[in-house]
Amino acid sequence: MPLPAQLTWLLGCVGSDVVSRMQLSARGSTSPLNNNVIATTIWIGLSLNIHELIRQHRSQNFALHERYLNPQMVRVLKTIGFDRRYVRAAGPYLFDEQGERYLDLLSGFGVFALGRNHPKVISVLQDVLTEGLPNLVQMDVSVLAGMLAQRLLETLPVGLERMFFANSGTEAVEAAIKFSRAATGRAKIVYCENGYHGLTMGSLSANGEEYFRQGFAPFLPGFEQIPFADLAALERALAGNDVAAFIVEPIQGHGVHIPGDDYLPGAAELCRRHGTLFVADEVQTGLGRTGRFWAVEHWNVEPDLLCMAKALSGGFVPVGAVACRKGILEKVFNSMDRAVVHGSTFSKNNLAMAAGLATLEVMREERLVENAAHVGEQLIAELSPLAQEYELVKEVRGRGMMIGLEFAQPKSLSLKASWKMLEAANKGLFCQMITVPLFMRHRILSQVAGHGMHVVKFIPPLTLGPDDRRWIVEAVTDVVADAHRVPGSLWDFGTTLARQAIRMKAGVG
């Protein structure tokens, strides 16, 4: 079996002992805690305040997860040396129990656009908790939800006039699929190869990355996949005038693939021509990530529905949403007896709505969209020369704080032979030779942008400043330069990665 995708991504975030740990076989837990000890300490601890509870049990995080949650995930983290214990977080930084500071270019897969533990969001949430407000009355309507809907719609493209709240990005996509079918009376949904729209069943049916689909078939009927950024393929898919919606990420998160200037406007026009709704999935690209409030603004596109989540939460309370045209929602909720035909029990809870309001206010006050555009442009400009200087670097691309470094097979014989060795063991393995030393040497968390890809991806908080930018540029330059030294320490580590991948394919260890 090839390296699992989570293992592939998380290999970018490992400690200095990774090489020795990757030699370990997975023979079971090495936790010092047995199940009875865990259970006993937990229940005793419940009588304490939360500060004391966390302090007493912080060292048990892996044992608790191994016993009660996902033991395979714990095995992955221990194998790759990612079993660090972070004890504090502020802005774009994480701090471990040794006091080391890490620059987080993952930001919770895009959740922490404001950085972690923003004091204004904390203050707003504390106020909500002490206000004694009625919450989730259900046979009522929430004033905070109404306020958040109003403020979000003020930021959105023309034509989007109604909001529906959910708990996550995948719930937002599920709602968009249902709304599109209800509004058009059609069943078919068209989506793109390599696109990512979530992991619940409807969203997974529109997921263009096969890794996430394996083992979960059969999927919902009526879904058709086409290539990304291919208008001819889209036109063929829409030709029967039977497609309810075309769902697409303005910039694909897996790989940071940016379409040509004519693609999204052309896709919107084709959808209008064939009576198909255009759904923009901005769960990752929205709320300033690409240097515009919404990524569709780069192409002046006006979608029929727009999905959002991640950054809207402020990193505290899950919240997602779908913005849509008025007529679409009126066809879903088309009478009083269908007023609750679609919903989500916790979706408009006071904490989530307040978190969204606080997030929008912080973005406005701190001009984070503008900062994302400015610092992101500088980062891309300073990293782009690596593609001319180093043969392993194919391209540096991105918009705002969504940046991808793509690597490709080199031409020189020694590098080419080493590259092929890694590729034979597991496609995309080379990128771990970038993400691993970024963490080990420079304390930067990053990720591989999809299973089997040759792209390293940065989606940092939008709060990065000049010092952070220099930190990134210097670290990436150092690691890329070292990757061109064969033989060398990085290629020794690459050989270790390849051996481990081969062992896993053979079912050993």
204-216 residue pLDDT tens: 999 999 989 999 9
Q: Kindly report the CA angle at 354 between 353 and 355, in degrees rounded to 5?
A: 90
Locate the DSSP E strands across 193-270. 223-226, 243-248
Q: What integer best gives the mean pLDDT of the chain?
A: 88
Q: Are 283 and 322 in contact (CB under 8 A)?
A: no
Could you tell me the pLDDT band of residue 379, with boundaries at 50, 70 and 90? very high
Helix crossing, 50-57 with 35-45: angle to 10°? 160
Question: What pLDDT shows up at residue 7?
Answer: 43
State the CB neighbour count (10 A cutoff) for residue 116: 22
Instruction: Read off the pLDDT of each residue in 286-308 and give the average, rounded to a whole number.
Output: 98
Could you tell me the pLDDT band of residue 108, with boundaries at 50, 70 and 90? very high
Could you tell me the pLDDT band of residue 496, with boundaries at 50, 70 and 90? confident
Instruction: Read off the pLDDT of each residue in 406-427 and give the average, rounded to a whole number.
Output: 89
- Residue 433 CA neighbour count, 13 Å, CB half: 31
CA distance 430 to 407: 8
Question: What pLDDT shows up at residue 27?
Answer: 36
Where is pLDDT greater, at 448 or 105? 105
Q: Which residue has the tokens 């949650």?
A: 69
Question: What pLDDT shows up at residue 11?
Answer: 43
Three-class HEC string of 82-139: CCCCEEEEEECEEEECCCCEEEECCHHHHCCCCCECCHHHHHHHHHHHHHCCCCCCCC
Where is pLDDT greater, at 242 or 423? 242
DSSP class per residue in 385-441: THHHH-TTEEEEEEETTEEEEEE---SSHHHHHHHHHHHHHSTTGGGHHHHHHHHHH
Q: Which residue has the tokens 């990752």?
A: 284
Type of residue found at 361: E
Q: What percent of the chain has pLDDT over 70?
A: 88
What does pTM read for this prediction? 0.88
- The stretches of 275-427 forming alpha helices (DSSP H) are 326-332, 350-365, 368-383, 386-389, 413-425
Q: Which two tokens stand for residue 43?
A: 């229940």
Q: Which structural domains are found in the chain, ordered by start?
A: 5-22+80-117+369-505 (3.90.1150.10), 29-70 (no CATH), 136-348 (3.40.640.10)
Could you tell me the pLDDT band of residue 164, with boundaries at 50, 70 and 90? very high
Question: Lowest mean pLDDT: which of 281-285, 448-452, 500-504?
Answer: 500-504
CA distance 325 to 304: 6
Burial class (CB in 10 A: 0-12, 13-18, 19+), 57: middle
CA distance 432 to 35: 35
CA neighbor of 163 nearest in space, from 146, 178, 177: 146
